[in-house]
Structure formats: C-alpha cells, structure tokens
Structure 1
Amino acid sequence: MNWLNFSGNALLVSFVIYCVAFLVFVLSIAGKTWSNRDPEVHGRKWGRAAYGLSVLGLVSQLLYFFTRWYGGGHIPTSNMFEFMTMLGMMIMIAFIIVYAIYRTPVLGVFALPVVVLIIAYAAVFPNEVQPLIPALQSYWLKIHVTTAAAGEAFFAVGFAAGLMYLIRTVNFQGKTASDRKEQRGVEFTLLIIFMLIAFIASVFTFNAAGYEAKFIKEQIVAKDGTQQKVSQTVTYVLPPIVAPYQTTLESMDTFLGMDKPLFTAPSWMSGENAGRKFNTVIWTVLLGVLLYALLRLILRKPIGQAISPIMKGMDPEDLDEIGYRSIAIGYPIFTLGALIFAMIWAHKAWGRFWGWDPKEVWALIVWLFYAVFLHLRLSRGWQGKRSAWLAVIGFIVVMFTLVGVNLVIAGLHSYSGV
C-alpha cells in the first residue's frame, strides 16, 4: 500500500468533513424548525450531529497523521505543510475536549473555520515528504513540536470564545466613543481573518491557473578563493506588483493588462525572497480589504453586527469562562513545549539553550503575553471584554509567530517555511 497517497486522501476527507460539520453547527443555531419541532430540541439534535462529524473528521485526520508518519519515516512536523496540518488537528482535539465540557454548538461555528483555514493554508506549501536536516533528527522533535502545537491549539479555542464574547456583548448600535472603538476593534479582527482567506484563495487560484513570473538576481560570491558571479531565479506565483531589488525580469504572464511590475522593492529589502514576500503581503492586504468591502456592501452593515444576532442565545459568562479555561489549559502545555523542551532541544542541536533566534524571541513574547493575561485575570479581576480582547490579540500574536516569523524573518527556524 502507498501510505503517503492514503494519508493525503485521509487529510482531504477530514477537510471535507470539517466543512460539513461547520455547516451542521450553523444549522444547529439557525433557530429554524421542521415539522413544528421545538427549536431547542432541533438545536441539540443538530449540535450532536455536528459534534459527531467533528469527531469523525478528527479520526480521519489522525489516520492522515500516523500513515504519513509511517510512510515518510519520521513524524510529520518538519515543514510548514506538516506543522500547520498538525496544528489544525490539535485545535480539533482541543475543541472536542472543550465542547464535551460545555456543549455549546455556537463554539463550533467559530472554531471549525479556524481549523479549515489552517489546513487550507497548509495546502499552499509543498506537501512532499522531505528528509530531515540534522537539527531535526532528534526525538525532541516529537516532544517539542507536538506539545507546543497542543498549547497553541487551546489558545485558538480561547480566541474563538473571545471573539464570540465580543460579538455577543459589543453594542453595535451605540454611538459613544467607547462603543465605536469596540466596533472598530471587532471589524479589524474580522478584516485580518478575511485577509488570511484572501491569501489562501489567491494562491490557490493563481496556482491552478499556472501563473508564473520569474526574475534573475545576480550576485558576486567568493568561492575557492576567487569571486564568481552566481545567478539566482526568484519565482512569483502571484502577479508581481513589486519586483525584487536589483533583479532583471526574465518572464511574466500578463495579468489584467499588467506585463511588468509597478515598482521595485526598496534597497533595504535586499534578500533574494524579500521582494516576493512583500508582493505577497500587498496582495493579501488588497484582496482582504476588497473581500471585506464586498461582503460589507452586500450586508449593508458592519459584519460583526450582522453576525451578532446568532449570539443572542449565548450566556456571555459561559463564553468568558470557555475562553479563560482554554487558555489556562493551554498555557502550561505551551510552557513545556515552546520553552522548556525547546531549550533542551536547542542545546542538543546547537549547543546552547538560548540564542535570541527570531522564533525563540517570539515564542517568549507569546509566553509573556499569556502570562500577563493570566495575571490580570486572576490578580486584577480582568474579566469580560478586557479578557476577551486579550484572548483575541494573543492568538494574533501566535499566528504571527507561526507565519510571519517562519516566512518573513530569516533565522534558524527558516527551514520550516520550505
């Protein structure tokens, strides 16, 4: 049996099941009835069905994980595709645990899209099994990465609960300065989510269309005591609005009449991939804003305000409790995985416990942020909206650590962005 093909099919099946489970969760809170049934009974019935589908999807993804591990010869956490799919799996495990405790169907409406987006984001990267570099050839790979991802998964559930709390409690009809500030905060958070959706959709679309643009960058390098000219090819999968610094356009597919870049990246973006990354950021922001604006135009009201009615039956105190408990569970797990086990592994791989690598620094920032969250929650009584905002901001920091640091900032962890 080709285990890698089987694992790929299992991941696809789990992705489809998660999408269906999300739709069933939506049905469970829609408030509609069939055959004059009680809406509350209707909600419980569809909620149980959605939860069952979520468990089935998780079983399929576990099959993907272990068959890829068996077929590839090592735990599938060595690159961005493998890590992000595992993170999605961990979020599902955390969601299933939290849902089993609180039985809140609306949590699935917010948690399932996070899982779907993360798995879709993983599909942007090459999915081939790659040999482990020396730094990854350690049993600490299994311990460090899995526990760190498990902690981040509970942070994701806390983020979903925090966003739900804000949408439930923010006064979208209010005209005061504080009301408007909260409304803008919710809309900005939703805009970030739309940017992620736009990024994934644009990469899928242009890849499917076979779009490509290539630039040649020539560099002088010292080799064997002599200086030699080396040419490197920088390939874009999105139309190049911005060209890399000091490169020559080799080929470019025309897009909407654009047959050359609009401008060149500034000189301080001198890395071979800096211009491409900057171009990706530009497309992500432009398409995210466009997608948000179109939906806002269709709804004719702020998106948060449009979502708010489905939250009316939720008890804000329950949402606040779910967010806090999720982070309280995730924090010690993250501490073990992202700091303690990571430092042990760093000593094994590089001969030092700490080296101020960008990924290490941002992992520390995440840890300190949630330490402040728990301190303010327990010692200062920060509950409700203040706690929810911290949960939302915290997970945005987590996502920057996972995505921005791996793909934008060069460091010892850059291999994970391959």
Structure 2
Amino acid sequence: MDGRNPSGWLEDRPLSRHQMVNILIVILLSVLDGYDVLAISFAMPALSTEWAIGKAAVGLLLASGLVGMAFGSFILAPLADLYGRRRLVIANLVTMIIGTGLSSACRTVEELAFCRVLTGLGIGGMVAVIIPLASELANRRRRTLVLAIVAMGFPIGGMLGGLASAILLRNHGWPAVFLAGAGVALIILPAVILFLSESLSYLAGSQPPDQRLVRVNALLQRFNCPPVADIPAPAPARRGYALLFAPNQRQQVVQMSVVNLCLVMVAYYFSTWLPQMIADTGFSPVEASLVSSASNMAGIAGGVSLGIGARRLGLRPIAIVAMLGVALSVGALGLSPASPYALFGAAALCGYFVFASGAGIYAILGTVFVPEARATSSGFVIGVGRIGSAIAPAMAGWMFAAGLGRAEVSAVFSVIALSGTLVLILGRRLFQPTS
C-alpha cells in the first residue's frame, strides 16, 4: 500500500465495523448539536412569558449562543489541525455540557446569554471538527452520503428536541429543556472517550515522528487495512490559518463562506424564530414546539433526498435546486395565513429545503479543501456563517420590534437565499473534490 497519501488509504476499501462505529458517534454528536442549538428556541415561548421580556431581548438570547458558535468555529477549529480531531471533540463536548447545564439555573437575561455563549463555543468548535472527521473516516463511495447523514443529525436533534420539549415544558418548565441536553451529552461522553479514533490524515503528519508509523498502523489494523511500511516525513508546511488562503483553495474558501453565510442566516432566522412566530399566531408553546419538530422531520427527508440525488445526478445541480428551494419556501412561510395547516405545510417545506442545502454544504466542505487545512478551512467557513447566524435572529427581532410583519421579514431572508444560490451557480470549483 502507498504510504504517501493518508487520505487515499481508505478510499477504495469497504467500511469496517470500527469505521461505522466512529461514524455513528459523529452522527450522534451532530444530533446533540442540533438539540443544543435549538434548545433556547424551544424554551423561549415559555421563558419569554415567565420573564416578561420583549422581542428585542428574545432576539438577543436567540443570538447569544450563535455568537459563541462563531468564536468556537474561528478559534477552536484550527486547533483540530494542530492537535488532533479527537482531543477537540472531547474538549468541545465538555464545554457544551457545562454551558447547557448552567443554562437551566439562570434567572436573568444576562446570565442566560452568557451561558448560551459558552455553550455556543463548544457547538461551534464541534461542528467544524466533525465535518472533516466524517470525511476522513468514510471511503470514496460513501463519503457524500455519510456527510449528508451527519448533516441530518441537526434536524434529527431538532425533531427529537421539539418532541421532548413539548413534554418537558408541559410537565417541568423551561429549565428541563437545558437539563435534558446536558444529560444526553454526559451519556455520549464516555462513548467518545472510549471509541472515537483520531483521523489518519492527522496521525500521518503528527509528532513525534518515531511514533507516527506505529500509531498509523495501529489504526489501519482497526480499520481492517494492511499496514504501511513507511510514512515519509511530511514536508515543512504551514498549518492553521497560514494555509487558509493558499492559492490552491483561496477561491473556494471565499465562495463557500458567502454561500454558507447566506444559507445560515436564513436557516437560523427560520429555526430560532419559528416557535415564537407560531406562538404569536395564537398557538401554545407546546404546539409551537411540535410544529418546529415537524419542520425538522421534513428536514431529515430533505437531507436524505440530497444524499441519494447527489449520487445519481451529481452534487452541483441538486445543491443549486435545494438552495433555490430555500429562497422560495421561506418567502412562502411569510405569506402563509395564520392557520395550523398552512403554517405546518410552510414550515415543513422550509425545513426540507434548508436542511437539504445544509447537507450539500457539509458534502462540499468535507471534500473541497486540502486535508492539512480541512478543519481550519471548514471552521473559517462555518465561523463566517455563525456571524451571520448570530446577526440573523437579532436582525429579525429588530425588524419585528420596528413593526414589520412575518411576510416582510421573511421576504428579506428570501433575497439573502437567492444571493447564495447565485454564488453556487457560478462556483463550479466548489464541486471538484481535493484528495
């Protein structure tokens, strides 16, 4: 076997049991991310009533976790290329447990905003790490599907979170929504520590050199692959942000940042404000959580559709159609009458296209960047998106507070999604995988 190309060792081999266990853990982490990101949205209708806070404060709380996610993507993600994917996953998971657990004990807007920022740090770093990790664990045949399924962890977490929150809010109040997230994360933590492996790409270029071959071959054995006789010392290379805008990936970084910014702004307007918008039409917080859960269920179907369609028709046309669907469906959400069937249908349509587009973004991020800067580049792109995701809920709150209605606010975000669609149409190099 060729020892010069770590990313190619698993490319044409079937997935081993150990690889599938690792991929399952990554999917569970994505599910947890989806729950923790939206926990504040599920709790918000009950919390805003109990605390008697206005739309501007609601927007601040919805945005606070996203601010933390932006910092996590920018600051923590590059450490995965320097110190390994596995260490960062564990550190991010512990941070999420602490932040989510403390959120349940908050009694003021300021306290909750701080805890959401802390939780967001862990989530932002986690998402940026699990994308390259999933890509490096999969083989060529299954990579796009694996990345799409990992992306589907978010709506699965949202769907389960909406269903669980409906029960928790009815019986125990909003603090239980956060306690449940912390409890699930505590259950997942031992599995991560015991079973999650480091990536071969990182091990092949890691220090100390005398242990590199031993560690790589030990992992290859667990993946049912033959050992390599030698791993040439990696050439001195820039790492972290020094590689971010290298000539061979500068254009892709910029284009992906713009596309992800547009998608994430729309996605977080939709996902964070949907329960509150539903509640504002006269439905109860429990009913609002159920509608949100239904939209995430539709999102699962969207992600699966993208994974299947991309394999048959190619990723590019499917990703473009999904992004265009985001623009049209979010506009339809704004125009839907205040009836349960219309809102349910519009929310499901939005969920389908938003998460299908998210799966497309994951598939592109997992393959378009060079391996030695994959976590850094993905983290930067996601971090740019997180800035937009932090701005979007607050911006929507300001527009609602200024007297704009659901139709006008949704129209603004529909235009943003159309802008991202245009960049996807022009960005042909985004769909050319880098080994």
TM-score, shorter chain, exceeding 0.5:
no
Higher Rg of the two aligned structures: 1
Higher share in strand? 1
TM interval, short-chain normalised: 0.3 to 0.5
- TM-score between the two structures when normalised by the length of structure 1: 0.34
Q: Say which structure, 1 or 2, has more relative contact order (CA 8 Å, 6+ apart).
A: 2
